[in-house]
Amino acid sequence: MPRLREPERYSKGGPCLRKKSFWLLLLPGLLLILVFLILPIARIVLPTFQVEGQLSLSLYQKFLGDSFYLRIFLRTLRVGVVTALISMVLALPVSFYISRQPGSRKGIFIAMATFPLLTNTVVRAFAWITILGREGILNNTLVRLGIVSEPLKLLYTEGAILVGSVYLFLPIMLISLVGVMENISDETLEAAQSLGANRLTTFLRVVVPLSVPGLIVGSVLVFAGASAAYSTPLMLGGNKNMLLSTLIYQQAMTLDNWTRASVIATVMIVTSYLVVGILNQVAARIGEKTT
């Protein structure tokens, strides 16, 4: 379909719908979100700031003051950050390659990266159990080749969580990066090279800086996803390597400690908002600088 005129001119000019029909259209969605998202979350978050009728942060001091919980909190942050960093390093060259492909091939590369995203996370974590397990494919191969004499402990480690998380979220980083790298014109790259930059310099000094918006969007998505994922840390990390997401389930459903679960819920919300907020600020700064 050919694009007609600028669509925004009409739609942003002023109200096109009558007030009554406007609210009628909007209300069901708003109600759903207010009643079954905002209200239930407010119901668990707000009471955590009140102890014996007084405004207090003591529940949080207790939570983060306990080295057991603090370690889980820090591990959660670490998994989020390291997953984002590894995904970045792997995705940067690959998405650059994809972005330089002609249209149909690019589509195939992107579709291939998208496919795992549509596959169940339990399936994807299970695949890594079969690879990393004690009797897993990797250990069997290493033992058979005589590289190690006894199977290594690969599964139920923080490393396994990292591998599984990169596996889950690398495609998201790839897609975010291809999105911005597509807009880098061939002329820009040729200009850099005609001025004497070699390919590596062009990549590091031209392509990477121009990809920062995509890197930020990708990192936000990967960090938020990896630090809140449930099935992967549970299946690959085991009981000894809990993250906040597996801890909240244990506290709420196994130990029936709803107060602590609410504290964890609040910590998770605040952390994700802070990280997303900071990265968006950075993105806005960079946007100001370049325009």
Partner 1 sequence: MKRKNTFLIFMVGLVYFFIFAPLVLIALTSFTTESYIAFPPVGFTLDWYSKVFANKTFISSFKLSFTISLAATSIALLVGVPGAYALSRNSFRGKKFIKDLFFSPNLVPQVVLGFALFTFIIVRLRLNVQAALLLGLAISVVTYAFRIVGASIESLDYAIEEAAMSLGANRLTVFFRIVLPNISSGIVSAFLLAFINAFNNVPLTIFLSGPGVVTLPVAMMSYIEYNYDPTVSALSVLLMLMSLAIMLVSEKLVKSGR
Using CB under 8 A as the binding rule, the residues of this chain from 102 to 161 that contact partner 1 are 111-116, 118-124, 126-131, 133, 135, 137, 140
**Residue 145 or 289 having the CB closest to partner 1:** 145
The region of 51-59, 85-93, 148-156, 278-286 touching partner 1 under the rule CB under 8 A is 85-93
- What residues from 12 to 41 belong to the interface with partner 1 (CB under 8 A)? 12-17, 21-23, 25-26, 28-30, 32-34, 36-41
Q: How far is the CB of 178 from partner 1 (least distance, A)?
A: 12
Using the minimum distance from each CB to partner 1, give the nearer residue, 66 or 190.
Answer: 190
- Per-residue binder mask for partner 1 (CB under 8 A), 172-211, x = binder: --x--------------x---x-----x------------
Cβ 66 to partner 1 shortest distance, Å:
20
Query: From the CA atom positions of the chain, what is the Rg in Å?
Result: 24
**Piece in contact with partner 1 (CB under 8 A), picked from 60-68, 90-98, 148-156, 211-219:** 90-98
Q: How far is the CB of 41 from partner 1 (least distance, A)?
A: 5
Helix (H, G, I), strand (E, B) or coil at 247: helix
Say which residues have a Cβ less than 8 Å from residue 76's Cβ, sequence separation at least 6: 227, 243, 244, 245, 271
CA distances from 275 to 76, 161, 208 (A): 13, 21, 22
DSSP state letter for 152: -
Q: How far is the CB of 57 from partner 1 (least distance, A)?
A: 19
- In whole angstroms, how far apart are CA 101 and each of 52, 82, 204, 210? 63, 29, 19, 18
Q: What SS3 class is residue 16? A: coil
Output the smallest distance, CB 176 to partner 1, in A: 15
Which residues does residue 54 pair with via DSSP β-bridges, in sequence order?
51
Of the candidates 22, 263, 236, 11, the one whose C-alpha atom is nearest the C-alpha of residue 133 is 236
3-class DSSP assignment, residue 153: coil
Which x/- pattern, by CB under 8 A, does the window 259-288 give for partner 1?
--xx--x--xx--xx--x------------
